[in-house]
Structure 1
C-alpha cells in the first residue's frame, strides 16, 4: 500500500523532473521556488500538518523569496 508520504515524494520528484527541462531559471525564480518550499515545510510543521498552513506557508515563503532575490 502506498502511503501519503510516498505519494508526496513521488509527486515532488515528478514535478522537479518536469521543471528541470525548462531551461536555466533566473535568480528570482530560484528565490521564489526556494522560499515556497521552505515556507511550505515550515507551515506544515507549525500547524501540525494542516493543508491550509502548508499552502499559506508556501505562499508567504514564495513572496519572501521573491523580495529577497530582487536585484538591489
Structure 2
C-alpha cells in the first residue's frame, strides 16, 4: 500500500510540474485523469485490482475533467456576453 501511495504522489507531482504551456482544457482534463487514477488505484487496491481501479478511475477522471472544463468555458462566455451587453446599454444611456 505504501508503494502505491508513493507512486501516486510522484505521478501527481509530475503532472502538476509538467502542465506549463498547456491550455486550460488540457490542464483540467489531465488533472481529472490523475485524480481519478489515484482514487481508482486506492479503491482498486482494497479489492485486489489496483490496475483496473486506476484505469477505470482515470477514464472517469478524464471525462469529469473535460466536462468541468466545458462548464467553466460556458460560464466565462456567459459572463463576457453579459459584460458586453452592459457596456452597450451604458453607452446608450449617456
The interval holding the TM-score normalised by the smaller chain is 0.5 to 0.7
Please identify which structure carries the higher helix content: 2
Residues 1-60 of structure 1: CA deviation (Å, up to 9, x unaligned): xxx66xx47x849xx48x84x861111101111100100011011111520110110111
- The correspondence for 1:33, drawn from 14, 30, 33, is 30
TM-score (norm 1): 0.67
Separation in 1 of the partners of 2:64 and 2:25? 11
Structure ID, larger Rg = 2
Q: Which of structure 1's runs of 4+ aligned residues deviate more than 2 A?
A: none
Q: How many residues align?
A: 63
Equivalent residue, structure 2, for 1:67: 67
* Inter-CA distance 23–44: structure 2 relative to 1 (3 Å threshold): closer
Greater relative contact order: 1 or 2 (C-alpha under 8 angstroms, separation 6 or more)? 1
TM-score (norm 2): 0.53
Aligned CA RMSD, in angstroms, stands at 2.7
